């Protein structure tokens, strides 16, 4: 039996003095009125599986108002193992624990990765490129530690280069000293992104066609380093030298940094690199950002999330923990059924809702329903 999340316990965390939640191996539905803490529980599950929270809270925000310390623990079980993943906030500092021993976020990340789908994600297609980059990286860092380290090193490097760019004493020579690390870390990160996006794409195309009744979706990676067209995604099986691909991208980033140094100095920001790249969708060949209807955008996001589940299975040989926060009400019957069909496919899932009316009887029979905060409809 593959490893799964068994019990979440929290103390002095957000709205909960203390709370324990036993999760089903299949579907757990958390039902309750608004503001009873459903999303808080989903956030704790995400934090203890991925090492990050979609709400990007400061450590103190995780501590129940009036308190000074909070703790969370998630017990994972299966494959002959029991692992406790923990997170504690004390003196305004957050630390992670694995089996009681302090560790970095990497220590809790990825044993059971999580795929979260919440109402904010419904804007994935239309909103700024940052959201799409974060969707890709947030997924990638759970599957591959070198991806995670590159993403974090790269982010720090850009921050430092941007601080330098804002200094009045910043000169072209000072800036150039940073270009190597932007180009080499950026290239390695880009190649990770391309490989992951290529895997997602294969599933996204199929899933979207199924949801939309045959429309053709596509996704491409549009780099900031001057290529006027999106670059070709490598086939998942493409084993052509990774080092060669990194070198090719590195040279392009380095050349673009060189070409745009004057503009960077004027504007005070780094204009080239993965932090400025775009993940772009098309539907039947047209830019989804400008053309997609609400329904098409929703199908696209749904297809992306299902693709994340499938890619996790492909890479790790087991499915992720699927967290569906308050999205049932946002989806129409067809899309709901598509998701619930997926859930029937052996994916451990936690769904929050204010209303059990979104589930049919047979789905509810198979699920474990937990009322949060007393009486609910």
Ligand X SMILES: Nc1ncnc2c1ncn2[C@@H]1O[C@H](COP(=O)(O)OP(=O)(O)OP(=O)(O)O)[C@@H](O)[C@H]1O
Residues that bind ligand X in the complex, under the rule CB under 6 A: 14-15, 32, 34-40, 61, 63-65, 326, 354
Q: Which does 354 bind (CB under 5 to 8 A by kind): ligand X, Mg ion, none?
A: ligand X
What residues from 311 to 350 belong to the interface with Mg ion (CB under 5 A)?
326
Nearer to ligand X by Cβ, of 11 and 162: the residue is 11
- Map residue 288 onto helix, strand or coil: helix
38 among annotated binding-site residues:
yes
Task: Point out the residue whose Cβ comes nearest to Mg ion.
Answer: 39
If contact means CB under 5 to 8 A according to the sort of partner, which of ligand X, Mg ion, none does residue 64 touch?
A: ligand X
Residue 109, phi then psi, degrees to nearest 5: -80, 135
Residue 218: which H helix or E strand, with range? strand 217-222
At closest approach, how far in Å is the CB of 43 from Mg ion? Answer: 9
- Minimum distance, C-beta of residue 32 to ligand X, in the bound complex (Å): 6
Name which of 92 and 357 has its Cβ closer to Mg ion: 357
What tokens appear for 204 in the block?
């996204």
Choose the contact partner of 135 out of ligand X, Mg ion, none; CB within 5 to 8 A by kind. Answer: none
- β-strand partners of 76: 5, 83
Binding-site member from 9, 28, 39, 349 for Mg ion (CB under 5 A):
39
- Angle, helices 145-166/129-143, rounded to nearest 10 degrees: 140
The first and second tokens of residue 148, run together, are 């995670």
Cβ at position 92, least distance to ligand X in Å: 13
Q: In which element (H, E) is residue 97 found? A: strand 93-98
d(C-alpha 48, C-alpha 282), whole Å: 34
The listed partner (Mg ion, ligand X, none) that binds 40, CB under 5 to 8 Å by sort, is ligand X
CB 98 within 8 A of CB 86: yes
**Nearest approach, Cβ of residue 120 and ligand X (Å):** 12
Residue with tokens 């757990």: 28
Beta bridge partners of 231: 221
To the question of whether residue 39 is assigned a binding role by annotation, the answer is: yes
Could you list the residues known to form a binding site for ATP, using ranges. 32-39
Interface positions with Mg ion (CB under 5 A): 38-39, 326
């Amino acid at each position: 039996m593959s490893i799964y999340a068994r019990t979440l316990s929290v103390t002095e965390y957000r709205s909960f003095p203390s709370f324990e939640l036993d999760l089903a191996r299949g579907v757990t539905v958390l039902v309750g009125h608004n503001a009873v803490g459903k999303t808080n529980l989903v956030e704790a599950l995400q934090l203890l599986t991925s090492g990050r929270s979609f709400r990007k809270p400061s450590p103190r925000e995780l501590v129940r108002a009036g308190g000074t310390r909070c703790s969370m623990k998630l017990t994972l079980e299966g494959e002959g193992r029991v692992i406790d993943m923990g997170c504690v906030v004390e003196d305004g500092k957050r630390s992670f624990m694995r089996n009681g021993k302090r560790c970095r976020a990497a220590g809790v990340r990825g044993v059971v990765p999580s795929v979260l789908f919440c109402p904010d994600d419904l804007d994935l297609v239309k909103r700024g490129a940052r959201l799409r980059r974060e969707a890709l990286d947030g997924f990638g860092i759970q599957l591959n530690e070198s991806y995670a380290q590159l993403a974090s090193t790269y982010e720090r490097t850009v921050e430092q280069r941007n601080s330098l760019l804002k200094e009045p004493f910043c000169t072209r020579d000072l800036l150039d000293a940073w270009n190597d690390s932007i180009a080499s870390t950026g290239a390695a990160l880009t190649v990770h992104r391309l490989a992951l996006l290529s895997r997602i794409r294969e599933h996204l195309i199929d899933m979207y066609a199924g949801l939309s009744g045959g429309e053709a979706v596509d996704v491409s990676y549009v780099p900031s380093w001057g290529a006027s067209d999106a670059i070709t995604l490598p086939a998942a099986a493409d084993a052509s030298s990774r080092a060669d691909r990194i070198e090719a991208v590195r040279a392009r980033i380095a050349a673009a940094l060189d070409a745009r140094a004057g503009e960077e100095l004027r504007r005070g920001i780094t204009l080239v690199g993965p932090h400025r790249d775009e993940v772009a969708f098309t539907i039947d060949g047209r830019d989804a950002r400008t053309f997609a209807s609400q329904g098409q955008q929703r199908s696209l996001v749904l297809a992306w999330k299902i693709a994340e589940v499938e890619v996790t299975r492909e890479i790790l040989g087991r499915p992720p923990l699927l967290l569906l926060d308050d999205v049932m009400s946002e989806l129409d019957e067809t899309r709901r059924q598509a998701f619930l069909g997926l859930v029937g496919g052996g994916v451990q899932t936690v769904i929050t809702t204010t209303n059990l009316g979104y589930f049919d009887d047979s789905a509810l029979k198979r699920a474990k329903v937990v009322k949060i905060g007393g009486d609910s409809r």
